[in-house]
Structures are given as structure tokens and as C-alpha cells.
Amino acid sequence: MDSFRDNLSPLMFGGLVVFLLIGYPAAFSLAAVGLFFGFIAIEMGVIAPNYLGNLTFQLFSIVSNDLLLAIPFFTFMGAILERCGLAEDLLDSIGQLFGPIRGGLSYAVIFVGAILGAITGTVAASVIAMGVISLPVMMRYNYDMRHATGVIAASGTITQLIPPSLVLIVLADVMGKSVGDMYMGAIGPSIVQIALFCGWVALLSFIRPEQVPALPLEARTLRGWPLLWKALRGIVPSAALIFLVLGTIFMGLATPTEAGAMGAVGALLLAAVYRTLSWKLCYQGMASTMRLTAMVTFILIGARVFSLVFQGVGGGHWIEGMLANMPGGQVGFLTFTMIFVFFVAFFLDFFEIAFIIIPLLAPVATKLGIDLIWFGLLICANIQTAFMHPPFGFALFYLRGIAPKEIKTSDIYMGSIPWIVLQLMLVALMIIFPQIVTYFLDTPVTMDPSKVNDILNNIPDFSGGLGLPPVPGQQ
């Protein structure tokens, strides 16, 4: 009995893993396991009988959290922009701008994916919009289908990292950090990710040019001022909306929730400009927003129930003792965390990872002197792969749903692999060069060059760590 009592934490965590592997909904798995072990802990005297009374305060803190209001606002904005016609104009005009060069359509998909990511904040909207519009065009001009499906899915997942990403809002809330700082820190990784994607297309255009042909002359129907005007007609409203949302946050003129509300209104105005605003469009946007918001709220409630009991039975100390004392200090912890998150993402989506896994890892990262903004963006870059790796990647599911039947599912899966490697390269670069994140923050951090050389030579200095950005206030 004493052995059972001393091991409530690992048993509780193991019980949650079993429920999730069975396929039971994460929100109800979290709440059920939390309440079950909570009652056991009370019966065994591990926690006081009135301990679960704290749940009322925990749940009230969820429904009264102004920051979480940003999620439905940004979701509604993305749902409207997905259907308003902006994506079509952007892909057509930018595709023709890059048309004369090999891989031009791929570059267009990457840049439009980044723009859509910066104004929608949702992966589904980007992948579906670009898949419906660009995939038939890439098929018509004989692009390799593995490459075409891969670039569309990967460019949609950039949305995870580019502000105003919903993932960054959730991570900021879970880690107790500023959303504005999270957004500012994400600028560098977003630029590097786009550069890596474009670099791969450029390499492919040299080693396998037949897979990424240039558009034939007859396909380039717009030239000169008409082409420039069409490009500006898509880019200028997008830039205005990006400034309305992100510019006001960065300048301190609006909170993320207020910026999200302005973005939702801006999306409606943009739909009106494109003459696609209708009651049907609004209803579809509100329905999508309701489903996502309800899912996030229930997962968060379940996670709070689980977390409260888990901390009560000593789970925090168990996790901290297990991870903080790993060989290698910061390097060992980061290596384990990145590998663990990568494989957990095969089974859990990013909301579940954010609400279940991150609260367990963040205190250990703080104890090891790792800046939580940098750590959160590392996790965010890693979680991008959750949408991409077979067989459970949601971006692949979205693409399969809208792709023509002649495109094989195996081609969609195989096409994702190079882009997963590029996403993991971003994670490695962010670890080796923390300045990718800190450059745009107020307190840039230098890194010991000798440690960088050690990492590059695959001989990490386990005794001294990586010279990672320190936690504010710590020496």
C-alpha cells in the first residue's frame, strides 16, 4: 500500500497515457483520470478532503481569462479570410510573378502560406485554401505530386509559428509570458523557416528540374502593370490587416484580445471589399469558431483538473527530479524534450501538448535557467511537425480531403518527409543560435562561441551547458 501511495504520480501519468492511446477524447481523459486519482489520494490521506475545492477557482480562472478571448477572434478572422477570395488573388498574382523561374509555383505557395499564416492564424484555413487553388494548377503544369502536396502542407504549417499563431497565444498563457514577447520572438524563426523552404525548392530546381518546371509562356497571362496591380490588390489589404493585428500589439496600442477583435472586423471588411460577404459566410465562420473554441475550452478544463491533482500528489516534484537531474544539464534536458515532443506529436494535437505536456516541462526549464520564451518557441517549432508526419498529420488529412482522387495517399505521405526534415533543421538552428529568437526582443543575448563550435563538431560541452538565454531576474 505504501508503494502504491508513493507512486501515485507515475501511475496517474501512465493512466492518462493509456486513455489517450485507447483513443478516448483528451478533454474527458484528463478530467476522468484527475478526478479518479483525486478521490484515491483523499482516501489515502495524500491530499486534504477539501483540496478539490480549489477546482472552482481553477475553472473560474479559465472562463474569466481575457487572453483566451483572442482564440475565437483569430479563429473567426481565419475562417472568413479562408473563404473571401483573398487567397485566390494572392496565389494567382504571385504565381505569375514567379512563373518564369523553375519552382515558381512552389515559391508562390510558400510566400502565400506565410501571408495567410500572418492573417489567419489557423493551419486548416491555409492548407485547404492553398490546396483547393494551387494543387490543380501544379498538376496541370506537371509538378511532381509528392513535391506539390508536400510544399502545400508545409507552407500551411508555417501558420503555427508566424504571429498571430493560436499556438503562441496558448503557450504564452500556459507559461505565464507576454503574448507580445512570444510574437516578437517568433519573427526570426518564421523568417528562417521560410528561407529553409525556399532553399529546398531552389536546390530541387537544380538537381531535379523536371519536378518543378517553370510556367509556360501561354500560362503567364498577366504582364507589366496589370500583373503588378493584381499583386498589390492582394498584398496591400493583407499587409494592412497584418499591421492592424500585429502592429498594434507590438506598439502596445492593443492587447492580443483587442487586436483579435479588430482583426475579425477587418476580415469582414475585406470580405465586403471582395464582394463575398454574406450571411452564409458569417454562419460558416461562426460555426468553425464555435467548434474550435469549445474544443480548446474543454481540453483546458480537463487539463486544469488533471494538473491540480497531479501537483497535489507530488507529480511536479517527480517530473522535476526526473528531468532536472538528467546527464548533460541544459543539453540533456533539451535533447530529451525535443525528441519526446516530436514523438508525442504523433498522437496528440498541439492544444493537448500545450495543456498537458508544457506545464510539466516549463518548471524544469525555469530551474535550469532556460528562458521560457525561447523554450516555448522551440516547442512551437517542433510541434509544427505534428501536422506533417504520417500517418496522423492533420495537414495531410486536410490535403487528402480536398485533393483529386488520382493523387495517391502514399504520395501525400512521402511528400511530407523532406519538409519535416527542414522543420527539424529549424529546431536545431534555434538551439545552436538562440539569437534567431532573441534578436527581435528587447534584451538580445550573446552566446559563447566555443559552445557553438562544440555543438557543430557534435561534441557538446555537457559541463557548462549551451550558454542559453537566462531567465529574467536570474544570474
Tell whether 313 is covered by a domain: no
pLDDT recorded at residue 200: 92
Give me the DSSP letters along 224-244: HHHHHHHHHHHHHHHHHHHII
Tell whether 455 is covered by a domain: yes
pLDDT recorded at residue 224: 64
Tell whether 63 is covered by a domain: no
- Domain range for 129 is 70-302+329-357+370-475
Tell whether 40 is covered by a domain: no
Tell whether 105 is covered by a domain: yes
Helices first, then strands: H and E counts in the chain: 24, 0
Domain count, the chain: 1
pLDDT recorded at residue 315: 74
Angstrom distance (rounded) from CA 373 to CA 381? 12
Angstrom distance (rounded) from CA 244 to CA 248? 6
Angstrom distance (rounded) from CA 371 to CA 363? 11
C-alpha grid cell, residue 330: 541544459
pLDDT recorded at residue 447: 37
**Quick one: which H or E segment has residue 403?**
none
Identity of residue 58: Q
Burial of 450 (0-12, 13-18, 19+ CB in 10 A): exposed
pLDDT digits (tens, 9 = 90+) for 320-367: 676 666 676 778 888 888 888 887 777 676 777 777 788 888 888 888
Angstrom distance (rounded) from CA 204 to CA 147? 10
Geometric angle at alpha carbon 11, from 8 and 17, rounded to 5°: 145
pLDDT recorded at residue 192: 92
Identity of residue 147: H
pLDDT digits (tens, 9 = 90+) for 166-203: 788 888 888 888 888 888 888 889 999 999 999 998 99
How far is residue 445 from each of residues 178, 441, 448, measured CA to CA in Å?
Answer: 18, 9, 10
pLDDT digits (tens, 9 = 90+) for 38-73: 888 888 777 777 777 777 777 777 777 777 777 788
How far is residue 196 from each of residues 133, 148, 189, 420, 426, measured CA to CA in Å?
Answer: 23, 16, 10, 11, 8
Longest CA–CA span in the chain (Å) reads 80
pLDDT recorded at residue 1: 53
C-alpha grid cell, residue 434: 538562440
